[in-house]
Amino acid sequence: MANLSPFVSRGLFDELFRDVNPGYFIKPLHGDSLPTQIKVDIKENSGEFIVEAEIPGASKEHIHVNIDGNVVSIRAEISQVDSQTNDDKLLRSERYYGEVSRSFQLPVDIDDSTSKARYENGVLTLNLLKKQKQAGQRMTIE
């Protein structure tokens, strides 16, 4: 009996039909699936933190940023839908939809009333101003 181990390791179906019609197996148009985590770069200068977060495929209406003291949370709904005209014959469609989020803690509290956010070309840029520490008040001794 013939040894089937080379076929099983690559997948019997794939090996049998690999050369039959190579045009039938179309690779996904959009590469990877939904990202599992938002990637961030965080820079600090004297008065603020600058956060650049990659969120490709999201619209700015579906991005939510929450600041609670020194904790920053970013959440985004990402959906990708391919357009199709009446003349198109759809051979394969790979779409994704989901939510990604990321939270991180900064060394000082953030002034959320003066901080700003901008979303352009799949990158969310946050300018997070540091909350000014109030001068300590002298305690009255009784």
Tens-digit pLDDT profile for residues 66-108: 999 999 999 999 876 666 667 777 666 666 678 889 999 999 9
Tell me what pLDDT residue 79 has: 78
Asked if the structure places residue 77 within a domain, the reply is yes
Q: Which domain holds residue 55?
A: 33-81+96-129
**Residue 89 lies inside a defined structural domain of this protein:** no
How does the average pLDDT of the chain come out, rounded? Answer: 77
Q: Look at residue 123 in the predicted model and tell me its pLDDT.
A: 95
**Distance spanning both ends of the chain, measured CA to CA:** 99
| Lowest model confidence (mean pLDDT) among 9-18, 51-60, 107-116 | 9-18
- On whether residue 3 sits in a domain, the answer given is no
- pLDDT value for 26: 46
Residue 67 lies in a domain: yes
Which is more confidently placed, 46 or 57?
Answer: 46
Residue 54 predicted with pLDDT over 70: yes
Q: Which of 16-25, 81-90, 94-103, 131-140 has the highest mean pLDDT?
A: 94-103
Does residue 40 have a pLDDT over 70? yes
Question: What's residue 95's pLDDT?
Answer: 67
In this structure, is residue 46 part of a structural domain? yes
In a domain? residue 63: yes
Residue 65 domain flag: yes
Candidates 81, 77, 67; CA nearest to 129 is 67
- Which of 16-20, 23-27, 76-80, 102-106 has the least mean pLDDT? 23-27
pLDDT the model gives residue 76: 92
Contact between 52 and 132 under an 8 Å Cβ cutoff? The reply is no
Q: What is the CATH number of the domain that holds 62?
A: 2.60.40.790
Is residue 37 a part of any domain in this protein?
Answer: yes
Gap between the Cα atoms of 35 and 20, Å rounded: 34
Q: How many domains, the chain?
A: 1
Q: What pTM does this model have?
A: 0.64
